[in-house]
A = this chain, B = another copy of it.
């Protein structure tokens, strides 16, 4: 069942495709430990609500279960098999970051019934997705390319990267606000530039660090996005993602159609809150600072630990990491920054603790 109609019609603002990564991005919040019963319970509830795409996997995507990214409770194959069976109507999505996952992981996911596959890269490295998108097109699977930490690139850069993704075979492109940095005007500018650059569906994926995830998603729709990501109760790391069961009725009130039953969606969100999460995400001070700084929230524990050891304010560390345009994988930089801040303070004759 494809619900991927786009454009406007006579009765309102048109159709939007809602893509639900609760069981993939939410996995970060529980260290990738969801059980088969948990995956099945939520997937069945989302399917019953008419959610068009349910994404599943390790938080970092196919192939990422490892000591470095954290081992998941279930293998990719186990997760895909359980969720595939729990989705009589909805399509199943998977996510992969080249480097964590390989061509072999992709082939396996396709064999296990993945309907929509997203290949993610850093926002200026679309080239890394070329081979994977090619493989997926050959396999006849819907393939999208998405750009992480997208606030670090300008609207024109993102438009260019999206055009490249399409040239590699992407049937959809999108941006993730990985550090929750955007305000609505930032989203409008980026989505509009992407919309003008490509003829395939355009996606926006928000995080709620600045309390703007729903407003940013609405701004994306108004600027021409066709696909919006959102998670039940915003399930995700740190401040969480766009809250699915809030976004859908807000879109409906504004005249957008999603094909989703709101009561059943609220039921699915209740299942998620009760069965998946120790507690729903809230916006704490670290979440706010990492959003303002535009820093990957996965750095949180490292920043807090290293700042305590160096006796510097972790907020200063976050803002300095933001100025240095830190991206995931640069954990060594945190020590450099913290030591630099301590030395600078000592040089100014401040406390040295």
A residues adjacent to B (C-beta < 8 A): 183-184, 208, 210-215, 218, 233, 243, 245-247, 249-250, 253-254, 263, 266-267, 269-270, 273, 279-285, 288-289, 292, 313, 315
Asked whether A183 lies within 8 Å of B245 as measured between CB atoms, the reply is no
Which of B245, B279, B282 meets A288, CB within 8 Å? Answer: B245
Q: In the complex, what's the smallest C-beta–C-beta distance from A183 to chain B, in angstroms?
A: 7
Question: Residues of B contacting A313 with CB < 8 Å?
Answer: 263
Asked whether A289 lies within 8 Å of B315 as measured between CB atoms, the reply is no
Nearest to A267 among chain B residues (CB) is: B285
Q: In the complex, what's the smallest C-beta–C-beta distance from A291 to chain B, in angstroms?
A: 9
Which of B250, B263, B285 meets A315, CB within 8 Å? Answer: B263
The contact sample of 12 A-B pairs, CB cut-off 8 A, is A183-B218, A183-B250, A183-B253, A210-B246, A211-B211, A211-B246, A212-B215, A233-B282, A249-B288, A253-B292, A266-B288, A280-B282
Nearest to A216 among chain B residues (CB) is: B215
- Per the bound structure, the CA–CA distance linking A208 and B254 in Å amounts to 17
Asked whether B213 lies within 8 Å of A249 as measured between CB atoms, the reply is no
The 4 closest A-B pairs by CB, nearest first: A215-B215, A211-B214, A266-B285, A280-B282
Asked whether B273 lies within 8 Å of A284 as measured between CB atoms, the reply is yes
- Per the bound structure, the CA–CA distance linking A247 and B183 in Å amounts to 12
- Per the bound structure, the CA–CA distance linking A269 and B285 in Å amounts to 8
Asked whether A288 lies within 8 Å of B215 as measured between CB atoms, the reply is no
Asked whether B211 lies within 8 Å of A213 as measured between CB atoms, the reply is yes
The answer to whether residues A270 and B285 also contact, given A211-B214, A214-B211, A253-B183 and a CB cut-off of 8 A, is: yes
Copies in the complex: 2
Question: Residues of B contacting A270 with CB < 8 Å?
Answer: 284-285
- Per the bound structure, the CA–CA distance linking A292 and B250 in Å amounts to 8
Nearest to A254 among chain B residues (CB) is: B183
Question: Residues of B contacting A213 with CB < 8 Å?
Answer: 211
Q: In the complex, what's the smallest C-beta–C-beta distance from A45 to chain B, in angstroms?
A: 12
**Residue among A184, A211, A243, A266 with most chain B CB within 10 A:** A211
Asked whether A292 lies within 8 Å of B210 as measured between CB atoms, the reply is no
**Residue among A250, A254, A281 with most chain B CB within 10 A:** A250
List 18 other contacts, CB 8 Å, given A249-B288, A253-B292, A279-B279. Answer: A183-B253, A183-B254, A208-B211, A210-B249, A210-B250, A211-B215, A212-B214, A212-B250, A243-B283, A245-B285, A245-B288, A246-B283, A246-B288, A266-B285, A266-B289, A267-B285, A280-B283, A281-B282
- Per the bound structure, the CA–CA distance linking A211 and B315 in Å amounts to 26
Nearest to A268 among chain B residues (CB) is: B285
Which of B211, B253, B266 meets A250, CB within 8 Å? Answer: B211
